[in-house]
């Protein structure tokens, strides 16, 4: 009898899986009628989120962020540069988002993913417009030397809400950032000070003795939502994004003020009430992400 029941269950699972593949929209709408998602989440709930700081030992700051299966690795490398004439007392930040073929079957070897360039631009716009980093903090010697922060974010698993995970990993990497110690040599040039010299006695006082950590001003966090008919689905998976094409991404700072809102087309109109509902979900999500980041920082300090 048990064998018969087991065979019946297996047959039922295969039928459900076949229906999901053949009629994905109907499959998801069946769940929406019950206000639940195929992964058992409520419509407004995000997936489990984890952060690990210091994931790349060779980087000056790094973080591994996971939202569900979506995985991002962010790493920062600091280099001394000559500041521009227009902004002699400011450093600079260069942001690149990478989608290697391992992250998704949709990404082909030898062809850059279209989404990568879009997300790179979104990240740059968000980080600069949010005012999270005061570029003057990156100045070493006015008009002569400043820091260039190279932020590279690698998507290791692209299972939806890529921008949310990428932004979270970027904020976490800057939170973890330890700026290298530098001093002036006899020629008046900025040189890096090795760790051995930092522990020992330096011939010259470090230029940035008090600037080893960046002060982050109200870091931004985001929530992507899918709009389908009268439903709003928070933190969509890649499958949900491919089936229900209207996406809205809300970016808020740590004070819950709106930084930006992205809606790259889609068949569903985003009325004012819908946008307000998305912002309300984003506010709740910001609280969750702040707690995740604070826990990761606390764990790093304990280690």
State how far the Cα of 15 lies from the Cα of 153, in Å rounded to an integer. Answer: 39
pLDDT of residue 19: 81
pLDDT of residue 6: 47
Per-residue pLDDT of the chain (303 residues), as tens digits, is 444 444 455 457 778 788 888 888 898 888 899 999 999 999 999 999 999 999 999 999 999 999 999 999 999 999 999 999 999 999 999 999 999 999 999 899 888 888 999 999 999 999 999 999 999 999 888 888 899 999 999 999 999 999 999 999 999 999 999 988 887 765 657 777 765 554 445 556 666 665 678 899 999 999 999 999 899 999 999 999 999 878 999 999 999 999 999 988 777 777 889 999 999 999 999 999 999 999 999 988 765
Q: Is the alpha carbon torsion for 94, 99, 102, 108 positive or negative?
A: negative
CATH fold for domain 43-176+213-299: Ribosomal Protein S5; domain 2 (3.30.230)
pLDDT of residue 49: 98
pLDDT of residue 203: 55
pLDDT of residue 210: 59
pLDDT of residue 187: 60
pLDDT of residue 4: 42
pLDDT of residue 168: 98
Instruction: Give CB contacts under 8 A, 24+ apart, made by 275-278.
Output: 275/248, 277/232, 278/223, 278/225, 278/232, 278/248, 278/250
Beta bridge partners of 133: 216
State how far the Cα of 64 lies from the Cα of 274, in Å rounded to an integer. Answer: 32
State how far the Cα of 16 lies from the Cα of 27, in Å rounded to an integer. Answer: 9
pLDDT of residue 2: 45
pLDDT of residue 188: 57
Secondary structure of the chain in HEC code, one letter for each residue: CHHHHHHHHHHHHHHHHHHHHHCHHHHHHHHHCCCCCCCCCCCCCCCCEEEEECCCCCCCEEEEEEECCEEEEEEEEEEEECCCCCCCCCCEEEEEEECCHHHCCCCCCCCCCHHHHHHHHHHHHHHHHHCCECHHHHEEECCCEEEEEEEEEEEEECCCCHHHHHHHHHHHHHHHCCCCCEEECCCCCEEECCHHHHHCCCCCCCCCCCCCCCCECCCCEEEEEEEECCEEEECCCHHHHHHCCEEEEEEECCCCCEEEEECCCCCCCCCHHHHHHHHHHHHHHHHHHHHHHHHHHHHHHHC
């Amino acid at each position: 009898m048990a064998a018969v029941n087991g065979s019946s269950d297996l047959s039922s699972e295969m039928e459900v899986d076949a229906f999901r593949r053949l009629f994905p929209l109907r499959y998801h709408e069946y769940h929406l009628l019950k206000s639940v998602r195929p992964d058992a989440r409520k419509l407004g709930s995000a997936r489990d989120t984890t952060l690990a700081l210091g994931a790349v030992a060779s980087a000056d700051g790094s973080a591994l962020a996971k939202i569900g299966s979506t995985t991002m690795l962010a790493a920062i490398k600091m280099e001394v540069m000559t500041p521009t004439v227009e902004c002699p007392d400011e450093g600079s930040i260069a942001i690149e988002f990478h989608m290697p073929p391992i992250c998704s079957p949709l990404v082909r070897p030898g062809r850059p993913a279209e989404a990568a360039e879009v997300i790179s631009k979104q990240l740059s716009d968000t980080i600069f417009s949010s005012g999270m980093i005061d570029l003057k903090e990156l100045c070493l010697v006015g008009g002569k030397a400043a820091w260039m922060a190279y932020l590279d974010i690698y998507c290791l698993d692209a299972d939806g809400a890529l921008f949310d995970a990428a932004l979270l990993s970027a904020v976490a990497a800057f939170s973890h950032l330890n700026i290298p110690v530098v001093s002036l040599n006899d020629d008046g040039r900025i040189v890096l000070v090795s760790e051995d010299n930092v522990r020992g006695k330096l011939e010259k006082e470090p230029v940035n003795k008090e600037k080893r950590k960046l002060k982050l001003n109200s870091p931004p966090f985001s929530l992507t939502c899918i709009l389908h008919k009268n439903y709003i689905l928070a933190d969509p998976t890649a499958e949900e994004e491919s089936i229900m094409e209207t996406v809205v991404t809300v970016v808020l700072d740590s004070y819950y003020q709106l930084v930006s809102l992205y809606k790259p087309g889609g068949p569903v109109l985003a009325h004012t009430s819908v946008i307000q509902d998305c912002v309300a979900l984003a506010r709740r999500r910001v609280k969750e992400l702040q707690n995740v980041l604070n826990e990761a920082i606390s764990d790093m300090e304990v280690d």
